[in-house]
Structure 1
Amino acid sequence: MTAILSVSDLTVAYGGVTAIDGVSLSVDDGEIVTVLGANGAGKTTLLLAIMGAVPASRGRIALRGTDVSRSRAHHRLAQGLVLVPEGRQVLVSLTVEENLLLGAHLRRDRQAVRNEIAAIYERFPNLGQRRHTAAATLSGGEQQMVAIGRAMVARPQVLMLDEPSLGLSPLFVSKVFDLIEEMNRSGLTIVLVEQNTGKALSVAHSATVLELGKVAIAGPSEALRNDHRLLEAYLGGAADIADEPSSMRANSQ
Protein backbone atom coordinates (compact mmCIF):
# COMPACT_ATOMS: atom_id res chain seq x y z
CA MET A 1 0.00 0.00 0.00
CA THR A 2 0.96 3.65 -0.47
CA ALA A 3 1.03 6.09 2.44
CA ILE A 4 -1.65 8.73 1.98
CA LEU A 5 -0.67 10.52 5.21
CA SER A 6 2.86 10.67 6.52
CA VAL A 7 3.94 12.39 9.73
CA SER A 8 7.66 12.59 10.51
CA ASP A 9 9.34 13.79 13.72
CA LEU A 10 6.39 16.01 14.67
CA THR A 11 6.92 18.15 17.76
CA VAL A 12 4.45 20.54 19.38
CA ALA A 13 5.19 22.69 22.43
CA TYR A 14 2.90 24.91 24.47
CA GLY A 15 5.09 27.45 26.19
CA GLY A 16 7.77 25.38 27.87
CA VAL A 17 5.80 22.14 27.79
CA THR A 18 6.33 19.66 24.96
CA ALA A 19 2.98 18.03 24.18
CA ILE A 20 4.14 16.03 21.13
CA ASP A 21 7.75 14.93 20.98
CA GLY A 22 9.13 13.60 17.71
CA VAL A 23 6.08 11.59 16.69
CA SER A 24 6.13 9.76 13.35
CA LEU A 25 3.07 8.10 11.86
CA SER A 26 2.32 6.55 8.46
CA VAL A 27 -1.22 5.87 7.26
CA ASP A 28 -1.72 3.77 4.14
CA ASP A 29 -4.44 4.46 1.61
CA GLY A 30 -7.64 2.69 2.69
CA GLU A 31 -6.37 1.91 6.18
CA ILE A 32 -7.80 2.60 9.64
CA VAL A 33 -5.06 3.62 12.06
CA THR A 34 -6.00 4.10 15.69
CA VAL A 35 -4.02 6.32 18.06
CA LEU A 36 -4.28 5.21 21.68
CA GLY A 37 -2.93 6.45 24.97
CA ALA A 38 -3.84 7.47 28.48
CA ASN A 39 -5.37 10.87 29.24
CA GLY A 40 -2.82 13.58 28.51
CA ALA A 41 -0.75 11.41 26.18
CA GLY A 42 -1.06 13.96 23.37
CA LYS A 43 -3.60 12.28 21.11
CA THR A 44 -5.83 15.30 20.50
CA THR A 45 -2.82 17.58 20.07
CA LEU A 46 -1.46 15.22 17.42
CA LEU A 47 -4.68 15.46 15.37
CA LEU A 48 -4.85 19.23 15.78
CA ALA A 49 -1.24 19.57 14.61
CA ILE A 50 -1.85 17.33 11.59
CA MET A 51 -4.88 19.48 10.75
CA GLY A 52 -2.88 22.68 11.16
CA ALA A 53 -5.02 23.97 14.02
CA VAL A 54 -1.99 24.18 16.32
CA PRO A 55 1.53 25.01 15.12
CA ALA A 56 4.31 22.44 15.09
CA SER A 57 7.78 23.51 16.15
CA ARG A 58 9.41 20.72 14.16
CA GLY A 59 8.54 17.95 11.76
CA ARG A 60 6.93 17.22 8.41
CA ILE A 61 3.36 16.37 7.43
CA ALA A 62 2.71 15.05 3.92
CA LEU A 63 -0.58 14.25 2.21
CA ARG A 64 -0.16 11.98 -0.82
CA GLY A 65 3.50 12.94 -0.86
CA THR A 66 2.87 16.70 -0.84
CA ASP A 67 4.35 18.58 2.11
CA VAL A 68 1.53 20.46 3.87
CA SER A 69 3.52 21.29 7.01
CA ARG A 70 3.31 25.03 6.37
CA SER A 71 -0.19 25.04 4.91
CA ARG A 72 -3.03 26.61 6.83
CA ALA A 73 -5.85 24.45 8.11
CA HIS A 74 -8.30 25.46 5.37
CA HIS A 75 -5.75 24.55 2.69
CA ARG A 76 -5.33 21.11 4.25
CA LEU A 77 -9.11 20.78 4.33
CA ALA A 78 -9.26 21.66 0.62
CA GLN A 79 -6.75 18.87 -0.05
CA GLY A 80 -8.94 16.29 1.68
CA LEU A 81 -7.79 16.27 5.29
CA VAL A 82 -10.87 16.50 7.54
CA LEU A 83 -11.16 16.42 11.34
CA VAL A 84 -14.23 15.56 13.43
CA PRO A 85 -13.17 17.13 16.74
CA GLU A 86 -13.69 15.81 20.22
CA GLY A 87 -17.05 16.90 21.59
CA ARG A 88 -18.60 17.01 18.09
CA GLN A 89 -18.77 20.84 18.02
CA VAL A 90 -21.94 21.08 15.96
CA LEU A 91 -23.47 24.55 15.89
CA VAL A 92 -26.47 23.99 18.12
CA SER A 93 -28.31 27.13 17.01
CA LEU A 94 -28.32 25.91 13.39
CA THR A 95 -30.55 23.20 11.99
CA VAL A 96 -29.36 19.72 11.16
CA GLU A 97 -29.30 20.58 7.46
CA GLU A 98 -27.45 23.87 8.01
CA ASN A 99 -24.78 22.00 9.97
CA LEU A 100 -24.40 19.45 7.18
CA LEU A 101 -24.14 22.21 4.58
CA LEU A 102 -21.20 23.72 6.48
CA GLY A 103 -19.17 20.75 5.28
CA ALA A 104 -19.73 21.85 1.69
CA HIS A 105 -18.49 25.42 1.98
CA LEU A 106 -15.52 24.70 -0.31
CA ARG A 107 -17.61 22.90 -2.92
CA ARG A 108 -19.46 24.25 -5.95
CA ASP A 109 -21.20 21.07 -7.11
CA ARG A 110 -24.47 21.82 -5.34
CA GLN A 111 -26.51 18.99 -6.82
CA ALA A 112 -23.91 16.44 -5.72
CA VAL A 113 -23.97 17.99 -2.24
CA ARG A 114 -27.75 17.63 -2.09
CA ASN A 115 -27.48 14.02 -3.19
CA GLU A 116 -24.91 13.27 -0.50
CA ILE A 117 -27.01 14.90 2.21
CA ALA A 118 -30.00 12.87 1.01
CA ALA A 119 -27.85 9.74 1.39
CA ILE A 120 -27.01 10.78 4.96
CA TYR A 121 -30.70 11.12 5.74
CA GLU A 122 -31.31 7.69 4.24
CA ARG A 123 -28.55 6.24 6.42
CA PHE A 124 -29.87 8.07 9.51
CA PRO A 125 -33.64 8.52 9.20
CA ASN A 126 -33.87 10.37 12.53
CA LEU A 127 -31.72 13.16 11.09
CA GLY A 128 -33.86 13.31 7.96
CA GLN A 129 -37.01 13.67 10.01
CA ARG A 130 -35.44 16.53 11.96
CA ARG A 131 -33.49 18.22 9.19
CA HIS A 132 -35.11 21.60 9.91
CA THR A 133 -34.78 21.26 13.68
CA ALA A 134 -32.07 23.01 15.71
CA ALA A 135 -29.16 20.71 16.50
CA ALA A 136 -29.53 21.69 20.17
CA THR A 137 -32.53 19.35 20.40
CA LEU A 138 -30.58 16.28 19.29
CA SER A 139 -29.12 13.63 21.55
CA GLY A 140 -25.35 13.33 21.86
CA GLY A 141 -25.38 10.35 19.51
CA GLU A 142 -27.44 12.20 16.92
CA GLN A 143 -25.11 15.20 17.14
CA GLN A 144 -22.16 12.87 16.53
CA MET A 145 -23.85 11.57 13.40
CA VAL A 146 -24.35 15.17 12.25
CA ALA A 147 -20.66 15.90 12.91
CA ILE A 148 -19.54 12.86 10.92
CA GLY A 149 -22.06 13.62 8.17
CA ARG A 150 -20.76 17.19 7.95
CA ALA A 151 -17.23 15.83 7.56
CA MET A 152 -18.31 13.42 4.84
CA VAL A 153 -19.92 16.24 2.85
CA ALA A 154 -16.44 17.77 2.72
CA ARG A 155 -15.35 14.69 0.72
CA PRO A 156 -12.34 13.69 2.83
CA GLN A 157 -9.42 11.68 1.58
CA VAL A 158 -8.33 11.20 5.19
CA LEU A 159 -10.94 11.44 7.95
CA MET A 160 -9.63 12.03 11.47
CA LEU A 161 -12.01 11.19 14.31
CA ASP A 162 -11.26 12.41 17.85
CA GLU A 163 -13.03 10.34 20.51
CA PRO A 164 -16.20 9.71 18.44
CA SER A 165 -17.77 7.43 21.08
CA LEU A 166 -17.13 9.71 24.05
CA GLY A 167 -20.21 10.12 26.23
CA LEU A 168 -22.51 8.10 23.99
CA SER A 169 -24.96 5.36 24.94
CA PRO A 170 -23.93 1.78 24.13
CA LEU A 171 -26.41 1.79 21.24
CA PHE A 172 -24.79 4.82 19.62
CA VAL A 173 -21.28 3.51 20.33
CA SER A 174 -22.17 0.48 18.21
CA LYS A 175 -23.68 2.71 15.53
CA VAL A 176 -20.56 4.88 15.40
CA PHE A 177 -18.24 1.91 14.98
CA ASP A 178 -20.54 0.31 12.41
CA LEU A 179 -20.36 3.58 10.48
CA ILE A 180 -16.56 3.72 10.76
CA GLU A 181 -16.29 0.24 9.28
CA GLU A 182 -18.82 1.08 6.57
CA MET A 183 -16.92 4.23 5.56
CA ASN A 184 -13.67 2.32 5.46
CA ARG A 185 -15.15 -0.44 3.30
CA SER A 186 -16.10 2.29 0.82
CA GLY A 187 -12.39 3.15 0.58
CA LEU A 188 -12.04 5.98 3.09
CA THR A 189 -8.80 6.27 5.06
CA ILE A 190 -9.39 6.93 8.76
CA VAL A 191 -7.25 8.05 11.70
CA LEU A 192 -9.10 7.22 14.91
CA VAL A 193 -8.32 8.56 18.37
CA GLU A 194 -10.41 6.60 20.83
CA GLN A 195 -10.37 5.65 24.52
CA ASN A 196 -12.57 2.62 23.95
CA THR A 197 -9.51 0.50 23.30
CA GLY A 198 -11.30 -2.74 22.54
CA LYS A 199 -13.60 -1.16 19.96
CA ALA A 200 -10.76 0.79 18.35
CA LEU A 201 -8.50 -2.23 18.01
CA SER A 202 -11.37 -4.30 16.64
CA VAL A 203 -11.83 -2.01 13.61
CA ALA A 204 -8.29 -0.71 13.04
CA HIS A 205 -5.64 -2.25 10.84
CA SER A 206 -2.79 -0.80 12.88
CA ALA A 207 -2.30 1.12 16.10
CA THR A 208 0.06 3.68 17.55
CA VAL A 209 0.25 4.11 21.31
CA LEU A 210 1.38 7.47 22.70
CA GLU A 211 2.90 7.95 26.11
CA LEU A 212 3.69 11.47 27.34
CA GLY A 213 3.77 12.79 23.78
CA LYS A 214 6.04 10.10 22.37
CA VAL A 215 5.35 6.92 20.40
CA ALA A 216 5.58 4.09 22.90
CA ILE A 217 4.75 1.32 20.46
CA ALA A 218 3.22 0.89 17.01
CA GLY A 219 2.17 -2.15 15.05
CA PRO A 220 -0.71 -4.27 13.75
CA SER A 221 -3.82 -3.84 15.87
CA GLU A 222 -4.27 -7.59 16.21
CA ALA A 223 -0.91 -7.91 17.93
CA LEU A 224 -1.80 -5.20 20.44
CA ARG A 225 -5.30 -6.58 20.97
CA ASN A 226 -3.89 -9.96 21.97
CA ASP A 227 -1.19 -8.58 24.29
CA HIS A 228 -3.00 -7.57 27.46
CA ARG A 229 0.23 -6.98 29.35
CA LEU A 230 1.24 -4.44 26.74
CA LEU A 231 -2.09 -2.62 26.99
CA GLU A 232 -1.84 -2.63 30.76
CA ALA A 233 1.68 -1.21 30.66
CA TYR A 234 1.00 1.64 28.24
CA LEU A 235 -2.69 2.38 28.72
CA GLY A 236 -2.89 2.19 32.50
CA GLY A 237 -5.46 -0.56 32.83
CA ALA A 238 -7.33 0.15 29.61
CA ALA A 239 -7.11 -3.53 28.75
CA ASP A 240 -9.53 -4.23 31.59
CA ILE A 241 -12.11 -1.66 30.48
CA ALA A 242 -11.65 -1.99 26.73
CA ASP A 243 -15.22 -3.03 26.07
CA GLU A 244 -16.99 -0.81 28.56
CA PRO A 245 -19.47 1.59 26.99
CA SER A 246 -17.80 4.94 26.52
CA SER A 247 -20.72 6.57 28.35
CA MET A 248 -19.25 5.03 31.50
CA ARG A 249 -15.86 6.60 30.77
CA ALA A 250 -16.64 10.24 30.26
CA ASN A 251 -13.08 11.43 30.93
CA SER A 252 -11.50 13.04 27.88
CA GLN A 253 -7.99 14.10 27.08
Structure 2
Amino acid sequence: MFEEMFKDEENASMDHRVRLACADESVFSALARYYSHVEECEPLCGMPVRLFYPQAEQGHECSVPMDAVSWRKTMLLSDVQAKSVSVEVLKEQDAICVYCTDSEKNFAACAEQLVALQEDRGNGYAEPAVLCFADADSAKAYLCGSGLWVPGQSQVVGATWDDVLPLVASTKGNLRWISGETLPWGDMPARNSAARSVQLIFRGSGELSMFDVMEKSEAIAGCFADGVNVLWQIEVHDKNEILVFVAQPMP
Protein backbone atom coordinates (compact mmCIF):
# COMPACT_ATOMS: atom_id res chain seq x y z
CA MET A 1 0.00 0.00 0.00
CA PHE A 2 1.12 3.57 -0.65
CA GLU A 3 1.10 4.52 3.04
CA GLU A 4 3.58 1.72 3.78
CA MET A 5 6.27 3.34 1.62
CA PHE A 6 8.23 6.34 2.80
CA LYS A 7 10.72 8.78 1.36
CA ASP A 8 14.10 8.53 3.08
CA GLU A 9 15.17 11.44 5.28
CA GLU A 10 18.28 12.17 3.23
CA ASN A 11 16.24 13.01 0.13
CA ALA A 12 13.81 15.13 2.15
CA SER A 13 16.68 17.14 3.62
CA MET A 14 17.87 18.06 0.11
CA ASP A 15 14.69 19.96 -0.77
CA HIS A 16 15.08 23.29 -2.50
CA ARG A 17 12.98 26.29 -1.68
CA VAL A 18 11.17 27.63 -4.71
CA ARG A 19 11.06 31.15 -6.11
CA LEU A 20 8.43 31.28 -8.84
CA ALA A 21 7.64 34.16 -11.19
CA CYS A 22 4.36 33.62 -13.01
CA ALA A 23 1.61 35.81 -14.44
CA ASP A 24 -1.15 33.33 -13.54
CA GLU A 25 -1.62 33.48 -9.77
CA SER A 26 -3.75 30.31 -9.77
CA VAL A 27 -0.47 28.41 -10.15
CA PHE A 28 0.68 29.81 -6.81
CA SER A 29 -2.45 28.46 -5.13
CA ALA A 30 -1.99 25.00 -6.65
CA LEU A 31 1.66 24.81 -5.59
CA ALA A 32 0.98 26.23 -2.12
CA ARG A 33 -0.80 23.03 -1.01
CA TYR A 34 2.63 21.40 -0.69
CA TYR A 35 4.16 24.14 1.45
CA SER A 36 3.63 25.53 4.93
CA HIS A 37 4.76 29.04 4.09
CA VAL A 38 4.35 31.21 0.98
CA GLU A 39 5.79 34.71 0.80
CA GLU A 40 4.90 37.44 -1.69
CA CYS A 41 7.88 39.28 -3.17
CA GLU A 42 8.56 42.18 -5.49
CA PRO A 43 7.38 41.53 -9.06
CA LEU A 44 9.93 40.39 -11.62
CA CYS A 45 9.58 41.79 -15.15
CA GLY A 46 5.99 42.67 -14.35
CA MET A 47 5.14 39.16 -13.12
CA PRO A 48 4.05 38.33 -9.54
CA VAL A 49 6.64 36.38 -7.52
CA ARG A 50 6.19 33.97 -4.62
CA LEU A 51 8.67 32.18 -2.36
CA PHE A 52 7.72 28.68 -1.17
CA TYR A 53 9.24 27.17 1.98
CA PRO A 54 9.13 23.45 2.90
CA GLN A 55 7.29 22.19 5.96
CA ALA A 56 10.41 22.18 8.14
CA GLU A 57 10.72 25.95 7.79
CA GLN A 58 7.29 26.92 9.05
CA GLY A 59 8.76 29.35 11.55
CA HIS A 60 11.24 30.84 9.10
CA GLU A 61 11.42 34.60 8.97
CA CYS A 62 10.47 36.13 5.63
CA SER A 63 13.58 38.31 5.69
CA VAL A 64 16.05 35.46 5.02
CA PRO A 65 18.63 36.78 2.50
CA MET A 66 18.17 35.32 -0.97
CA ASP A 67 21.85 34.34 -1.17
CA ALA A 68 21.77 32.53 2.18
CA VAL A 69 19.51 29.67 1.08
CA SER A 70 19.20 27.32 -1.88
CA TRP A 71 16.45 28.47 -4.24
CA ARG A 72 15.01 26.82 -7.30
CA LYS A 73 14.47 30.00 -9.29
CA THR A 74 11.80 29.43 -11.93
CA MET A 75 9.89 31.47 -14.49
CA LEU A 76 6.65 30.27 -16.07
CA LEU A 77 5.80 32.37 -19.11
CA SER A 78 4.57 32.32 -22.69
CA ASP A 79 6.78 32.57 -25.76
CA VAL A 80 5.46 36.09 -26.34
CA GLN A 81 6.26 37.14 -22.75
CA ALA A 82 9.77 35.70 -23.05
CA LYS A 83 10.60 38.29 -25.72
CA SER A 84 10.28 41.10 -23.18
CA VAL A 85 12.50 39.54 -20.48
CA SER A 86 16.13 40.59 -20.44
CA VAL A 87 18.91 38.10 -21.08
CA GLU A 88 20.36 38.88 -17.65
CA VAL A 89 17.14 37.90 -15.86
CA LEU A 90 16.69 34.75 -17.94
CA LYS A 91 20.24 33.58 -17.21
CA GLU A 92 19.65 33.99 -13.46
CA GLN A 93 16.94 31.31 -13.51
CA ASP A 94 17.40 27.64 -12.67
CA ALA A 95 14.46 26.74 -14.89
CA ILE A 96 12.46 28.47 -17.61
CA CYS A 97 9.09 26.90 -18.38
CA VAL A 98 7.85 28.39 -21.64
CA TYR A 99 4.61 27.54 -23.43
CA CYS A 100 3.41 28.11 -26.97
CA THR A 101 0.92 30.84 -27.83
CA ASP A 102 2.44 31.84 -31.18
CA SER A 103 3.03 29.80 -34.34
CA GLU A 104 5.10 26.60 -34.13
CA LYS A 105 7.83 28.29 -36.17
CA ASN A 106 8.05 31.27 -33.82
CA PHE A 107 7.90 29.01 -30.77
CA ALA A 108 10.86 27.01 -32.07
CA ALA A 109 12.75 30.26 -32.61
CA CYS A 110 11.97 31.30 -29.02
CA ALA A 111 13.21 27.93 -27.73
CA GLU A 112 16.43 28.29 -29.74
CA GLN A 113 17.08 31.67 -28.17
CA LEU A 114 16.52 30.30 -24.66
CA VAL A 115 18.77 27.25 -25.00
CA ALA A 116 21.48 29.52 -26.43
CA LEU A 117 21.72 31.00 -22.91
CA GLN A 118 22.54 27.66 -21.30
CA GLU A 119 25.85 27.02 -19.57
CA ASP A 120 27.40 24.08 -17.75
CA ARG A 121 27.33 25.08 -14.08
CA GLY A 122 28.84 21.81 -12.92
CA ASN A 123 25.52 20.13 -12.09
CA GLY A 124 25.65 17.60 -14.90
CA TYR A 125 23.02 19.38 -16.99
CA ALA A 126 22.72 22.67 -18.85
CA GLU A 127 21.30 25.66 -16.97
CA PRO A 128 18.97 27.34 -17.01
CA ALA A 129 16.90 24.24 -17.71
CA VAL A 130 14.51 25.03 -20.57
CA LEU A 131 11.21 23.16 -20.65
CA CYS A 132 9.03 23.85 -23.69
CA PHE A 133 5.32 23.10 -23.50
CA ALA A 134 2.68 22.72 -26.18
CA ASP A 135 0.23 24.93 -24.27
CA ALA A 136 -0.32 26.80 -21.02
CA ASP A 137 -2.37 24.03 -19.39
CA SER A 138 0.41 21.48 -19.91
CA ALA A 139 2.99 23.88 -18.46
CA LYS A 140 0.92 24.66 -15.36
CA ALA A 141 0.06 21.01 -14.77
CA TYR A 142 3.71 20.05 -15.04
CA LEU A 143 5.00 22.70 -12.67
CA CYS A 144 2.41 21.79 -10.03
CA GLY A 145 2.25 18.02 -10.58
CA SER A 146 5.62 16.72 -11.76
CA GLY A 147 7.13 16.71 -8.28
CA LEU A 148 10.17 18.78 -9.30
CA TRP A 149 8.96 21.94 -7.53
CA VAL A 150 7.57 20.37 -4.36
CA PRO A 151 9.21 18.92 -1.22
CA GLY A 152 10.58 15.43 -1.82
CA GLN A 153 8.42 13.84 0.86
CA SER A 154 5.26 14.84 -1.02
CA GLN A 155 5.75 11.82 -3.29
CA VAL A 156 6.07 8.22 -2.11
CA VAL A 157 8.23 7.49 -5.14
CA GLY A 158 9.71 10.65 -6.60
CA ALA A 159 12.26 11.77 -9.13
CA THR A 160 15.12 14.28 -9.11
CA TRP A 161 16.18 16.83 -11.69
CA ASP A 162 19.00 14.45 -12.63
CA ASP A 163 16.37 11.82 -13.45
CA VAL A 164 13.99 14.06 -15.35
CA LEU A 165 15.87 16.80 -17.20
CA PRO A 166 17.71 14.45 -19.60
CA LEU A 167 14.30 13.12 -20.64
CA VAL A 168 12.24 16.28 -21.09
CA ALA A 169 14.40 19.42 -21.12
CA SER A 170 15.50 21.14 -24.32
CA THR A 171 19.17 21.76 -25.08
CA LYS A 172 21.14 23.10 -28.02
CA GLY A 173 20.35 20.97 -31.06
CA ASN A 174 17.73 18.97 -29.16
CA LEU A 175 14.47 20.90 -28.78
CA ARG A 176 11.64 18.98 -27.12
CA TRP A 177 7.94 19.72 -27.02
CA ILE A 178 6.12 18.57 -23.86
CA SER A 179 2.39 17.89 -23.84
CA GLY A 180 0.39 16.76 -20.84
CA GLU A 181 -2.94 15.26 -19.88
CA THR A 182 -4.69 13.95 -16.78
CA LEU A 183 -6.30 10.53 -17.13
CA PRO A 184 -8.71 8.60 -14.92
CA TRP A 185 -7.00 5.46 -13.63
CA GLY A 186 -8.85 3.20 -16.06
CA ASP A 187 -8.01 5.19 -19.21
CA MET A 188 -5.00 4.96 -21.52
CA PRO A 189 -3.19 7.71 -23.44
CA ALA A 190 -3.43 7.88 -27.22
CA ARG A 191 -0.74 6.04 -29.14
CA ASN A 192 2.16 8.30 -30.06
CA SER A 193 4.98 7.03 -32.25
CA ALA A 194 6.82 10.39 -32.09
CA ALA A 195 7.32 10.32 -28.31
CA ARG A 196 10.88 10.06 -27.07
CA SER A 197 10.27 10.19 -23.32
CA VAL A 198 7.26 9.77 -21.04
CA GLN A 199 6.87 10.90 -17.44
CA LEU A 200 4.02 9.37 -15.43
CA ILE A 201 2.79 10.58 -12.03
CA PHE A 202 0.42 8.05 -10.47
CA ARG A 203 -1.89 9.64 -7.93
CA GLY A 204 -4.09 7.64 -5.65
CA SER A 205 -5.22 6.66 -2.18
CA GLY A 206 -3.49 4.25 0.16
CA GLU A 207 -5.59 1.43 -1.25
CA LEU A 208 -3.53 1.34 -4.45
CA SER A 209 -0.53 -0.97 -4.41
CA MET A 210 2.88 -0.88 -6.04
CA PHE A 211 1.76 -3.82 -8.17
CA ASP A 212 -1.14 -1.71 -9.51
CA VAL A 213 1.28 1.05 -10.48
CA MET A 214 3.82 -1.21 -12.14
CA GLU A 215 1.14 -3.06 -14.09
CA LYS A 216 -0.43 0.19 -15.30
CA SER A 217 2.97 1.68 -16.16
CA GLU A 218 3.81 -1.33 -18.32
CA ALA A 219 0.46 -1.07 -20.10
CA ILE A 220 0.95 2.65 -20.81
CA ALA A 221 4.46 2.04 -22.13
CA GLY A 222 2.84 -0.11 -24.82
CA CYS A 223 1.21 3.03 -26.25
CA PHE A 224 4.62 4.27 -27.36
CA ALA A 225 7.39 2.97 -29.58
CA ASP A 226 9.88 0.42 -28.30
CA GLY A 227 12.82 1.99 -26.53
CA VAL A 228 10.96 5.07 -25.28
CA ASN A 229 12.13 6.11 -21.81
CA VAL A 230 9.28 5.88 -19.30
CA LEU A 231 9.78 7.39 -15.84
CA TRP A 232 7.10 6.94 -13.18
CA GLN A 233 6.41 8.48 -9.80
CA ILE A 234 3.77 8.04 -7.08
CA GLU A 235 1.89 10.63 -5.05
CA VAL A 236 -0.74 9.96 -2.39
CA HIS A 237 -3.75 11.99 -3.48
CA ASP A 238 -7.49 12.29 -2.94
CA LYS A 239 -8.15 11.25 -6.55
CA ASN A 240 -7.10 8.17 -8.48
CA GLU A 241 -5.60 9.65 -11.63
CA ILE A 242 -2.50 9.62 -13.80
CA LEU A 243 -0.61 12.66 -15.04
CA VAL A 244 0.98 11.84 -18.39
CA PHE A 245 3.68 14.09 -19.85
CA VAL A 246 5.08 13.23 -23.26
CA ALA A 247 8.25 14.78 -24.71
CA GLN A 248 8.86 14.59 -28.44
CA PRO A 249 10.96 16.49 -30.98
CA MET A 250 9.66 19.98 -31.59
CA PRO A 251 7.78 20.30 -34.90
Higher strand share goes to which structure?
Answer: 2
Normalising by the smaller structure, the TM-score range is 0.3 to 0.5
Q: Normalising by the residue count of structure 2, what TM-score does the alignment of the two structures yield?
A: 0.34
